[in-house]
Amino acid sequence: MSEKIKIIGVVGARPNFMKIAPLMAAMREEPEVFDFTLVHTGQHYDRQMNEVFFDELGIPPPNVHLGVGSGSHAEQTAKVMVAFEKLLLKEKPHLVIVVGDVNSTLAAALVASKFNICLAHVEAGLRSFDRRMPEEINRVVTDALSDLLFTTSRIADKNLLSEGTDPEKICLVGNIMIDTLIHYLEQAPGPELLERLGVEPGGYGLVTLHRPSNVDERPVLRGIVDSLDRVSRRLPLIFPVHPRTRKQLKAFDLLGMLEAEHRMHLIEPLGYLDFLCLMRSAKLVFSDSGGVQEETTFLRVPCLTLRENTERPETIEQGTNLLVGSDPELIYREAIEIIEGRGKRGGELEFWDGKVGRRIVEQIKQRRRWLTAPIDERMAVREAL
């Protein structure tokens, strides 16, 4: 019998959980092939941003929890690297899989690469072309270090090829976030959640806001808040407030103003299923999240992205997404266009079909002999690519 492929998968923050769940489910179907260890770095440690997603998505508890906690980008990355290095020395996996673009992704990629352990990046090739975004640095470096690059779209493939990536490393598999969305769409709560919040399907907007570029400077955050306040006079808004955003709103004396606005419902962060329910039935969504751009595109819900650029251009070219930055007038004007029925309708995207986890597993199985070969043999193949 062939040796099992020993894999360590790394997650650290909320978006990672939705990306690892379909992959783990596909591997559980073949226990004779895969020996999978889930490592949670602890980058997100708030209950509503963390454990609740494991519960809802049916992900088994992590085999290892590194518990790195918060800190600056450098501190957080360094903590993960130190802890992950000790784990790799002990476990000696054939393959490390990282997902997304958070600090944990970069840290695990650096350590695995230095140990000459094969590295796979799920969601490779995404580019905003804005190096001011920490996530962009994480994406570029992780992709440069990876042996297997699982991409979401042909645009991502093109990005990698333009950077000189060997085509043999690139595997177009589709958007794994959509696997999770499709699987859990029917399980999302029904009218009872909307009734509890006092809104009707299509009769409200949904807000998510957390990026430092939007919440760390008072003038920027004040402008966004003012525009949302104006929109809320035409359409009720539901705003699950990220812990970081709440902290900044309070520090800038903006929280009271929002709480006083009766048509702006500020609530605690939601679990995946509750948020999916609200997103599915919203008239429009305001967000600075990459994942929300993708999910609203699939659901055909208009999305106004509060950013100047996006690493997911297909959501604009083929989906329902529109970039509005932090310009209060533009945010308000485009929101009114949607409220009055003139929003983008979007279309279907290639390989966003709920089968991405299975495609990734098949690609890994095809490389079983290489992955389980002695390191000298694997290095010779890597150097020849």
CA neighbours within 13 Å on the CB side: how many for 304?
Answer: 29
> Residue 381 — very low, low, confident or very high, per pLDDT cuts 50/70/90?
low
pLDDT value of position 32: 96
384, burial (CB in 10 Å: exposed 0-12, middle 13-18, buried 19+): exposed
Neighbours of 1 (CB within 10 A): 4
Q: Does residue 39 contact residue 62 with C-beta atoms inside 8 Å?
A: yes
Structure tokens belonging to residue 311:
């690493």
Q: What is the pLDDT of residues 53-86, one digit of tens each?
A: 677 777 788 999 998 877 888 999 999 999 999 9
Q: What is the pLDDT of residues 355-365, one digit of tens each?
A: 999 999 999 99
Total length of the chain: 385
Using CA atoms, how far residue 83 sits from 65, 98, 255, 379, in Å, is 10, 16, 37, 25
Q: Does residue 330 contact residue 338 with C-beta atoms inside 8 Å?
A: no
User: Could you give all domains of the chain from N- to C-terminal order, each with its CATH number?
Assistant: 5-174+352-384 (3.40.50.2000), 190-339 (3.40.50.2000)
State the first-to-last Cα distance of the chain, in angstroms, to the nearest integer.
Answer: 28
Q: What is the pLDDT of residues 200-232, one digit of tens each?
A: 999 999 999 999 999 999 999 999 999 999 999
**Sheet-wide strand order for 321-323:** 264-267, 237-240, 205-207, 284-287, 303-305, 321-323
Q: What is the pLDDT of residues 13-42, one digit of tens each?
A: 888 988 999 999 999 999 999 999 999 998
Q: Which pTM was predicted?
A: 0.90
Collapsing DSSP to helix, strand or coil, 340 comes out as: coil
Residues acting as catalytic residues? 210
Collapsing DSSP to helix, strand or coil, 273 comes out as: helix
Beta strands in the chain (DSSP E): 5-11, 34-40, 64-65, 95-99, 118-124, 148-151, 170-172, 205-207, 237-240, 264-267, 284-287, 303-305, 321-323
pLDDT value of position 262: 73
